[in-house]
Amino acid sequence: MNIVVTKINNWFVKYKPYFFSYSNGFFKLFYLANSPELIVESNIKYPFVKHDAERQLTYCDNSFVKSRLGYAELEKGLWCINSHIYYKNNLSFTPIYDESETATYYCLIINEVKNEYPSKYYKINNIVVKNYSLSFLKPKIKFENFHFKGATENLYQIYFDKAWYENNIKTLPNLPASVVELFENKNIDFINYAINIEEFRTVYNEFYNAFNSDTKPNYISLKKTTYAFFELFLENYQYAVVSKTSKLKSKDRVLLKTVEDYLLDNLLDKFIGIEEIAEMFKISPTKLKKDFKALYGTTIYGYFKEKQMKLALQILNEQDCKIKELATMFHYENYSKFSKAFLNTNGFLPSENPKKLKNIF
């Protein structure tokens, strides 16, 4: 029997009892992640997935997701995968690595994320992965990948192994020091940063066209697009503002995620205070403050206020709302204090909003 099939069957038997188990507000799913080939084959093995081998696509439509996954092995050590998923429930993915199999693939991802609730984006460990961002994962990284109900995600994932990196990237002349550091620094295993989508528009559209035709992807075109993507990544990475993973335990990250969800679901309410939040989630106030700051880089109240002001800007742009009314909506008795908070977050006063210069008071 083919060795890949054997590994897939062994993995499936071991983890099938845990498919869609429920924990901390998320249904859980596992996949074999040593290589893109095993990722695709483990996806095909799910009993709820249909496979179109001719077009190199898999489909799924069940109570948890509606998804389509396209795949292409472009050359030895280089794959391209497109996953388009609508989440009907909160779902987390956890990679499983077969210890008898090598795991040498890096992964570079363009993330397009559209959410029913704009404040909620999917997360890899402690990092919030937002719309039009780029992610980079090193081989055999252990992580939990959280996705929220109502989200639609379209991801273009380039997998390349260490041999391909050494032959095609590491040998490039004038390779930026920041890129060398990214690959060589053992303390960095995952990054995410926002991109100017217009700079990536051409390759994004070409990826889209390649995976949305009635036939299997055009390999020559897809390989050309993939190389163009690498060029953009290498040119832009040194200027990026990057988020990196932290050392918090998985259970602490999950708890902080539920705290964040509570904050985001109550942005139109008054901030109830650290003590009450800590009591609500059965954690000491000191640990809550410390872990939250380590994960999000700001205080709980600072995070809450920033998200309030982002929501205020959204409301101001979308509704015929006066500033005094908006201040009252967010429980500010003094609209000048509201305006100051708005300025600190958005960089301009609500009366100076470039999208709406009317209905000031």
DSSP track, 212-280: SSSSS--HHHHHHHHHHHHHHHHHHGGG---EE-----HHHHHHHHHHHHHHHHTTTS----HHHHHHH
Q: Which residues pair with 93 in a beta bridge?
A: 29, 145
Higher model confidence: residue 15 or residue 231? Answer: 231
Maximum Cα interatomic distance, the chain, rounded to a whole number of Å: 75
Residue 124 pLDDT more than 70?
no
CB within 8 A of 178, min separation 6: which ones?
237, 238
Q: What is the pLDDT of residue 241?
A: 55
How many angstroms separate the CA atoms of 106 and 103, rounded?
Answer: 9
Q: Which of the four pLDDT bands, split at 50, 70 and 90, describes residue 357?
A: very low
How many angstroms separate the CA atoms of 175 and 68, rounded?
Answer: 36
Residue 273 pLDDT more than 90?
yes
Question: CATH 1.10.10.60 region(s) of the chain?
Answer: 250-352
Task: With CA atoms as reference, report the closest residue to 273 among 287, 258, 285.
Answer: 285
Mean pLDDT value across residues 305-332? 88
Percent of the chain whose predicted confidence (pLDDT) is above 70 = 87
Could you give the angle at which helices 3-15 and 36-45 cross, rounded to 10 degrees? 60
How many angstroms separate the CA atoms of 341 and 361, rounded?
Answer: 17
Mean pLDDT value across residues 58-80? 96
Q: Which residue's structure tokens are 């990679």?
A: 95
Write out the CATH class of domain 250-352: mainly alpha
Q: Are 65 and 147 in contact (CB under 8 A)?
A: no
Per-residue tokens: 61: 């439509």
Question: CATH 2.60.120.10 region(s) of the chain?
Answer: 3-244
Mean pLDDT value across residues 178-201? 84
Per-residue tokens: 250: 């998985």
Percent of the chain whose predicted confidence (pLDDT) is above 90 = 40
How many angstroms separate the CA atoms of 224 and 218, rounded?
Answer: 10
Identify the CATH number of the domain defined by range 3-244: 2.60.120.10
Q: Which of the four pLDDT bands, split at 50, 70 and 90, describes residue 82?
A: very high
Pairing of strands 133-137, 145-147: unpaired
Q: Is 260 helix (H, G, I), strand (E, B) or coil?
A: helix
Q: What is the pLDDT of residue 146?
A: 83
Q: What is the pLDDT of residue 358?
A: 40
Q: What is the pLDDT of residue 359?
A: 40
